[in-house]
Amino acid sequence: MTIWILALLLLGALASAGYSQGAIRVAFSLVGIFAGVLFAAPLAPLVMLVLPFIGIERDWTKQIVGTIVAFYLVGVVFKLAAAFVHRKVEYHYKYRVPDAIRALWERMNRRTGMCLGLINGWVYFLLTCLVISTLGYFTTQIGGSESSSYLMKAVTKMAEDLRSTGMDKAVGGLNPAPERYYEIADALGFVANNRAVVRRIGSYPPFAVLAKTPVFQGMGTDREYLRLVESERDPSAILSHARTQEVITNSAVMTELLAVDLKDLTNYLATGKSAKYDLDRILGTWVYDFPASLKLAKAQEPDLRTTRMMQLRKELTDRYERAVFTATLDNRAAVTLPANIEGTAGPNLTNEHRLSFSGTWRKSGNNYQLSMTPANRNNRPVGSENITVNTEATIEKQKFARAGRPSVDVETIRFKIRENPVVFNKIPE
């Protein structure tokens, strides 16, 4: 219903305007509409050069505003030309022909203008439907919340009416939105309607790299913001939040975000699997498994004496307590200890302090090569700069039994640090 009301309003308004303005000005306006559609995109880069001077600096905003401004600038040129030609013709019929001919001309000019105005109205109606179709796809994806803003609900309602009338098919071939726009809408829509997957985003390999930046570290520690994101609040409230705006206004971060494979991201959020990154099984966050590490040490030294066993148990317990191993897409690897343990001497350790390590990883056949050194330069003891970890890591999948619950497959990574075998687990969600 809203679409037909819009059509009647536009046709009525433009027909009335055409009747009052006359055929010449309306004809120029009609040509200006088509010229604006044709030249808006090519002229947009020129307009975008000026936009930073008025405070519009985001790339995607400049693209949208630049295209709209270019369209209207082309229209203004044709309207100025129309006013000039109309004045010349009006002067001719007003002062150089008999009044009877002038009256006939004015009547024809008004009536022809009304007909051309109807055509103008239809063209503007199609352009308006095109805008509704493009924006409506986005708002339909993310605007399912009861707390959505009135504007978002209105656009969503009009997009639904557009589909029910079939006008979306009429303007579908004119849609200038790139495929990337729909990928972004699909990804944001999936997150907006499945807020529980928000916590899974940080484990997606490209975001694991971005998580190291101050912008995302601030997000991760802001509990109020995390509660807002996971709530059923209107998505516009999230977009307008200072934390979100900090990301949107950071051009370097936005470049990284827009480079993400959104189809693969959406599939990862839905299934926990990434067709693009699962081949590099090392990617992700792994937690230290003391029992598995001790079991591996026993398997590698079957003739362990009691004293050696006690020493090894203390070593594997205290030195790597609550350690986390991470491997990111930029080939960085790290074994990280909690801040309150890093650089301290363990109660059962007699040698150097407990240290975190950082370095690189690379693929080596079916396994991986790790090269790491102590990470905290300001807090490590003297002499630790000579410690290096060059080891081969292997990844296996094992069954993990849980009391009263079905067993799950767990990936484990094994390597050595200072000749001590360590095992880390990647627990599936």
pLDDT tens-digit map of 360-384: 999 988 899 999 988 765 555 545 5
What is the DSSP pairing of strand 420-426 with strand 405-417?
antiparallel
Using alpha carbons, select from 58, 50, 45 the residue that is nearest to residue 257.
Answer: 58
Q: Rounded to the nearest 10 degrees, what angle do helices 23-48 and 59-95 cross at?
A: 150
Q: 237 and 143: one domain?
A: no
Domain contains 291: yes
Using alpha carbons, select from 325, 323, 329, 288 the residue that is nearest to residue 204.
Answer: 329
pTM for this structure?
0.70
pLDDT at 119: 94
Within 71-194, strands assigned E span: none
| Residue 1 reports pLDDT greater than 80 | no
Q: How far apart are CA 131 and CA 127, in angstroms?
A: 6
Q: 111 and 244: one domain?
A: no
Q: 409 and 365: one domain?
A: yes
Mean pLDDT, residues 144-168: 79
Domain contains 298: yes
Percent of the chain with pLDDT over 90: 26
What is the domain extent for residue 184?
179-271
Using alpha carbons, select from 44, 2, 19 the residue that is nearest to residue 113.
Answer: 19
3-state secondary structure of 423: strand
Domain contains 183: yes
| Residue 429 reports pLDDT greater than 80 | no
Residue at which a domain ends, from 139, 172, 205: 172
Q: 14 and 141: one domain?
A: yes
Q: 259 and 290: one domain?
A: no
pLDDT band for position 385 (50/70/90)? low
| Residue 110 reports pLDDT greater than 90 | yes
Q: 156 and 188: one domain?
A: no
Question: Cα–Cα–Cα angle for 226, 255, 38, nearest 5°?
Answer: 120
Mean pLDDT, residues 292-315: 81
308-340 confidence digits (pLDDT tens): 788 788 888 888 888 999 998 889 999 988 888
pLDDT at 414: 92
Q: 15 and 160: one domain?
A: yes
Structural contact between residues 107 and 61, judged by C-beta atoms closer than 8 angstroms: no
The mean-pLDDT minimum among 15-24, 214-223, 325-334, 417-426 falls in: 214-223
Question: What is the DSSP track for 107-153?
Answer: HHHHHHHHHHHHHHHHHHHHHHHHHHHHHHHHHHHH--STT--HHHH
Q: 293 and 146: one domain?
A: no
pLDDT band for position 146 (50/70/90)? low
Phi, psi of 97 (to 5 degrees): -130, 160
Q: 266 and 402: one domain?
A: no
Mean pLDDT, residues 106-122: 94
The mean-pLDDT minimum among 65-79, 127-141, 205-219, 394-408 falls in: 394-408
Token duo for residue 331: 């080939």
Token duo for residue 291: 């029992």
Domain contains 85: yes
Percent of the chain with pLDDT over 70: 90
Q: How far apart are CA 398 and CA 425, in angstroms?
A: 10
3-state secondary structure of 362: strand
Query: Which residues have a Cβ under 8 Å from the Cβ of 35 and sit 6 or more positions away?
Result: 74, 75, 78
pLDDT at 382: 47
| Residue 388 reports pLDDT greater than 90 | no
Token duo for residue 256: 């990284």
Residue at which a domain ends, from 172, 199, 218: 172
Q: 327 and 366: one domain?
A: yes
Q: How far apart are CA 1 and CA 162, in angstroms?
A: 9
For residues 316-355, b (16+ Cβ closer than 10 Å) or e, as one string? bbbbbeebbbbbbeeebbbbbbeeebbbeebeebeebbbb
Domain contains 279: no
Element (H, E) at 285: strand 284-288
3-state secondary structure of 241: coil
Q: 119 and 61: one domain?
A: yes
The total of structural domains in the chain comes to 3
Q: 412 and 323: one domain?
A: yes
Domain contains 278: no
Residue 388 is classified by DSSP as: -
| Residue 181 reports pLDDT greater than 90 | no
Structural contact between residues 422 and 316, judged by C-beta atoms closer than 8 angstroms: yes
Token duo for residue 259: 């480079």
Domain contains 276: no
Residue at which a domain ends, from 154, 172, 190: 172
Domain contains 402: yes
The mean-pLDDT minimum among 88-92, 94-98, 183-187, 386-390 falls in: 386-390
